[in-house]
Amino acid sequence: MDSNSPTCRIRSGIISLLSLAGLLLWVSCTSPSTTPVPETKTYSEQTKAPASEGKVVTPQTGRPLKIGAIFAASGPYAPMGEPNREAAFLAVERINAAGGINGRPLVLVFEDNQGDPSVGGSLAKRMITQDKVSALFGGPPLAVAHVVASIAEESRVPIVFTQPTRSLVKGRRFAFHLAVPEDTISMATTKYIVEKGKWRRVAIVADTTEYSQLLIQFGEEELRRLGAEVTKEQFQPNSVDAGPLVTRLQSWKPDGVYLIGGVPSFPAVFAKEMKSRMPQVAIIAAAGLASRKFLQLAGDAAGGIFFENTLVFDERVQPSEEKELFRALARKSSGSLPLQFHALGWDGINVLAKGLEKGGDDPMKVRDAIESLSGYRGVMGVYNFSPIDHNGHSPSDVTILRVEQGKFVFVDRPFTER
């Protein structure tokens, strides 16, 4: 095994990870004095990644292949962006430990979009023009993603997104997304609510973001089609008092609540209020709330809440890629709670790697290779992209989880056939 060290260069928030034949060395350096940089640390540790165990690893040669990742590592969307980032780097480590892509090292150039569309747009342009990335990887919030998607399309550089919103890819040739889209996940969740939960009166409680509004639309349509009565309540993501909302629900007397949102602060307050005043009413929450932060904020009130998701958590039926991700997280940070956001970061790198295997440095060829990807089993489900479908998921990829003793437990898969 080659003993040369790879380099991870941190420059103005850019982290480039380069692993050589299973050996990992992180070296920090300073950035230009005009730009403040966070405190960095130098690591010198040898690790043997599972992908290289028992295998002959071909040393990586030639120029690195680069992916530019733009996630929210700070601000209200960090509970989504940080797991995206963490798992993306783990996936890069695994690929490089196994010899890279066609013998070439894979480098992940990462930046924090700070939840600001103008910042995200500037980063995307710089990664394309200066860092010369072959593909981009984007995350929340949605306002940033729309800007980055437009820049990627204009620059003819492929991008995959962690968000499920179809509007990100509609009419775009270079944009793909990894999460189950809002109409598909609504179909599975509402099926579970009516057929398994036996809810006849459903309150949809959602924030005012674009994604939540789409879930309200599709969720209400499906629930009414299945014969349920529906009432709707909305809240601002920065709301702090759930009392009046719960009072209105007490008057309406729902069998259950479909709780939709992405920023976990108010939904956690709502969960506590419901636990105190309407403990008999079941709650099923959108996948965007299945975060470590929500569990921390909600505390005991999170117990018993159902979540729509795509992870399984049950080792008896757990897909192999999910097991690989869970093992990687366990080695990296003992006790870390695996989340769907980790799965999105992991799958995104592996989907892009499939494109880079065929496309190399040519963004157009990378795009074409991703669009033709079929039958690839990731953590989030089976990906079947095509010229008319840049998502590729089906309702059978959706799972229902329940929080028990602070952990997610597999409950059901509403659809069992693709």
Going residue by residue through the chain, which has 418 residues, state the pLDDT in tens, using 9 for 90 and above: 443 333 333 333 333 433 333 333 333 333 333 323 233 222 222 223 333 333 334 456 778 999 999 999 999 899 999 999 999 999 999 999 999 999 999 999 999 999 999 999 999 999 999 999 999 999 999 999 999 999 999 999 999 999 888 889 999 999 999 999 989 999 999 999 999 999 999 999 999 988 899 899 999 999 999 999 999 999 998 899 999 999 999 999 999 999 999 899 999 999 999 999 999 999 999 998 998 899 999 999 999 999 999 999 888 778 899 999 999 998 876 556 788 999 999 999 999 999 999 999 999 999 999 999 999 999 998 999 999 999 888 899 999 999 999 889 999 999 986 5
- Amino acid 177 reads H
Element (H, E) at 183: helix 182-191
Structure tokens at 398: 């959706």
Element (H, E) at 153: helix 142-155
User: What is residue 208's DSSP assignment?
Assistant: S
Say what the pLDDT of residue 360 is.
Answer: 94
Architecture of domain 182-309+398-412: 3-Layer(aba) Sandwich (3.40)
CA distance 81 to 230: 32
CA distance 120 to 124: 6
Backbone angles phi, psi at 339, to 5 degrees: -130, 165
Range(s) of the chain covered by CATH 3.40.50.2300: 9-180+320-387, 182-309+398-412
* Pair 137, 65: CB distance under 8 Å: no
Say what the pLDDT of residue 45 is.
Answer: 24
User: What is residue 84's DSSP assignment?
Assistant: H
| β-strand pairing of 65-71 with 106-112 | parallel
* Pair 411, 398: CB distance under 8 Å: no
H helix intervals, 98-166: 117-129, 142-155
Say what the pLDDT of residue 375 is.
Answer: 93
- Amino acid 320 reads S
Task: Estimate the crossing angle of helix 320-332 against helix 340-359, to 10 degrees.
Answer: 110
For residues 239, 240, 245, 246, the Cα torsion angle rounded to the nearest 10 degrees is 150
Q: Write the CB contacts of 130 (distance below 8 Å, at least 6 apart in sequence).
A: none
CA distance 348 to 355: 11
Identify the burial level of 7 via C-beta atoms within 10 angstroms of its C-beta, where 0-12 means exposed, 13-18 middle and 19 or more buried. Answer: middle
Say what the pLDDT of residue 234 is.
Answer: 95
Structure tokens at 48: 């043997």
Say what the pLDDT of residue 127 is.
Answer: 97
Tell me how many degrees the CA angle 411-272-267 measures, rounded to the nearest 5: 75
The DSSP bridge partners found for residue 384 are 374
- CATH, domain range 9-180+320-387: 3.40.50.2300
Q: Does residue 58 sit in helix, strand or coil?
A: coil
Q: Does residue 380 sit in helix, strand or coil?
A: coil
Q: Write the CB contacts of 238 (distance below 8 Å, at least 6 apart in sequence).
A: 263, 265, 266
